[in-house]
Structure formats: structure tokens, C-alpha cells
Amino acid sequence: MKILAAMSGGVDSAVAAARAVDAGHEVVGVHLALSRAGGTLRTGSRGCCTIEDAMDARRAADLLGIPFYVWDFSERFRDDVIDDFIEEYRAGRTPNPCMRCNEKIKFAALLERAVELGFDAVCTGHYAILVDTPEGRELHRASDAAKDQSYVLGVLTAEQLAHSYFPLGDTPSKAEVRAEAQRRGLTVAHKPDSHDICFIPDGDTRGWLADKVGAATGDVVDRTGTVVGQHEGAHAFTVGQRRGLSLGVPAPDGKPRFVLEVRPVTNTVVVGPKEALATAEIAGERHSWAGRAPEDADFACHVQIRAHAEPVPARASVRDGTITVIPENPFDGVAPGQTAVLYDGTRVLGQFTIARTVSAVPVEA
């Protein structure tokens, strides 16, 4: 096959490209320039897609003996990922920019261009497994549960999966990938993984949002609507947050209170007891299927609401374009804007953006 290897400058994508070469494919490396900020440099595990990363990717491609290019996707990244992130927070939701980047950049914009140029597939260093069946290609969890990235790939469609290539999916551990990189002479063998939001490399999400969204003081209220404090910007709060609330009125039982809801229209933050974070139902409309859709409108599944959360047994139903999920045991601290990924065993069924949640604890409790 003719493979376009997306090379981030990290060890995973470098080894993935190397394995594609070993498999006999015609491989071309590409690094995506996602920021036009000149002089952007990486600091340890903070940041990605920097000048340093581009240079690391080029060195890896040179060692592998494959052509290498840098493609400027900064405008598309700004529109589809950064602006979306800002608007979601402005609307009181908690987005996952990595999901949007996979959906809109790596497996939409990049894949579209790759197919136009005659490539058969895009190769990445994601830890996930593709399985071809008579009914079509399926996306499954990686062999290494600790590194499994099927959650952030849950946004991929059947067409996108048909042009995807994940050589690391069945690797037992990340340590083995690093050891392989060392044997191959790749300079990124021990390069730290990136953990923060790539366009907020200093990790100060609150400060970054304050600059982009603006800060306006507002009320912090309990579940009955009683004002118990003030805040300096609702965008700085996420569901489940405990610290930094600065409440002027203690809870009647003296226990800590947590953020239960952010209401952007009224610039209000709702707080309450930890028990009220238990979520009995979630629902959303913006959904997609990773391959063939479930045959029935009601079906059993497991649901994962964060990249490293434990999957929860649940029942899902699809009615008039809306997916509703009721877990066997309540979720803990779910926020609108998060992505729920549905699984059947190890197979990814699809995903949806959470738009509505129902607490398992009545207000009067």
C-alpha cells in the first residue's frame, strides 16, 4: 500500500512509520504544523507539534529513508479545534480537544488530502486495533490497556477506518515501543510523552480561557438557588471541581461542596454535595458510528466517558437521532460537552457528545 505516515515527532509515530516501512509499504512521512506562532518550543512533556517536534520527525524520517514533508494545517486547526474549544467553554460545556483534532484534522483534513494524492491509508502511532470482518472494518481496544487510545478514536467513521493504519495496536507495552526505537537508533526513543493541551503548553487552561472568553463575576448557588458565593468567571469551573470555589456560606452539614453545573446564560455556577455528582442518565445528539451501526434501537453496551475512565455497563437507546444511555451504576461527575464512547466488548461501536445529564440524587435530598 501507499501509506502517509503522520509523524508528530514522538516515539510512537516514529516506530509506527518504521513498522510500515518494514511491512513493505511505500511510506511518506508528514508533520502537521498546527501553530503559526514562530519560535514555539517544547518544554519536557508540555506542548506538541512544536518546532522541536518537527525537527525530531524529520530526523526519524531521514533515518528510515522516507520522503518527508511539513503541511500547514494551522488555519484548519484554529477553526475546527481551538475555536470549537473556546465556544464549548463559552456555552458551559467541557470539550475534549484531542477528540476534535482526531475527528477534524488527522482523520478528516489530513485523510482527505492523502486520498486525493493517491495514498491508501494514513498511519499514526495510536494504540488501537483494526479488525477486518465480512461486515466491514471494526475498531477495537489495544492489547495494552494502559495505553489504549480507542476512546479518542471513537469519532472515526467507517470510511475513515477503511483508510486508517495503526501498527502499534497489538504491542504489549509502551516500554517495548521505546526499546524498539532505541534498537532502531531513533533519537526520540526516550522523549517524554505530551500530556497537556497542545495549544496551552504552559498548562494554565484557566488563564488562557480568561484571555479568550473574558472574565465576568457571577453567583455561585446551591441546588435550591441560594447564593453561597461569588466567582470571577464561570469558564474556570468544571463539573466535579472542589478546589478554588471560595464559598462564603458553608454547607449545613459542613461537608465539602463540588461543582455540579455551569450555567453560561446566567453566568452561574451550581454547587452541591459529592453525592449529587452521581449521574443516572446521559443523552446527546451529535453522534457517529465506528463502522456498522447496532442492529437494534435498544442495546446493551459499555460506556466510557473519559480517556482513562473505567467502562460502565449500560443500556443505550436511539430515538429520533438522540442517544440516551442509562448505566447499571451511576457515572461520577459527568459534564455536558464530554464525549461518551460506546463499546461492545473490545469493539468501539460509536460515540456522542453529551448534551444532557440527569442526577441520581433529587434536589431535595
Do residues 281 and 267 share a domain? no
Question: In terms of domains, do 103 and 21 share one?
Answer: yes
The percentage of residues in the chain with a pLDDT greater than 70, rounded to a whole number, is 95
40: CATH: 3.40.50.620
**pLDDT given at position 364:** 58
Predicted local distance difference test score (pLDDT) of residue 40: 47
Question: What φ, ψ does residue 327 adopt, rounded to 5°?
Answer: -80, 155
Look at residue 46 in the predicted model and tell me its pLDDT: 45
298 phi and psi angles, rounded to 5 deg: -120, 130
Is residue 198 annotated as a catalytic residue, yes or no? yes
Same domain? For 229 and 347 the reply is: no
CATH number of the domain residue 266 falls in: 2.30.30.280
Q: Which of 48, 49, 198, 301 is catalytic?
A: 198
Structural domain range at position 268: 215-272
Are 59 and 118 part of one and the same domain? yes
> Is there a single domain that holds both residue 28 and residue 107?
yes
Q: How confident is the model at residue 217 (pLDDT cuts 50, 70, 90)?
A: confident
Looking at the fold, whether 267 and 340 belong to one and the same domain comes out as: no
Is the same domain home to 337 and 265? no
Domain-embedded: residue 344:
yes
Q: Could you read off the pLDDT of 220-270 as tens digits, one per residue?
A: 999 889 999 988 888 778 888 888 787 877 788 888 899 998 888 788 999
**pLDDT of res. 42:** 43
**Total domains in the fold of the chain:** 3
Does 161 reside within a domain? yes
101 assigned to active site: yes
Residues 8 and 129 in one domain: yes
pLDDT digits (tens, 9 = 90+) for 340-353: 999 999 999 999 99
pLDDT digits (tens, 9 = 90+) for 270-315: 999 999 999 999 999 889 999 999 999 999 999 999 988 899 999 9
Out of 48, 98, 101, 301, the active site residue is 101
Q: Is 37 in the same domain as 113?
A: yes
- Other Cβ atoms within 10 Å of 157 Cβ, number: 15
Residue 359 has pLDDT above 90, yes or no: no
Question: 333 pLDDT band (50/70/90 cuts)?
Answer: confident
Strands (E), the chain: 2-6, 26-33, 68-72, 121-123, 128-133, 136-141, 164-165, 218-221, 227-231, 258-263, 268-272, 278-284, 287-289, 298-304, 312-319, 322-327, 331-332, 339-344, 347-353, 356-359
Of 232, 247, 272, which one is at a domain's C-terminal end?
272
Q: Per the domain annotation, does 328 fall within a domain?
A: yes
Same domain, 6 and 132: yes
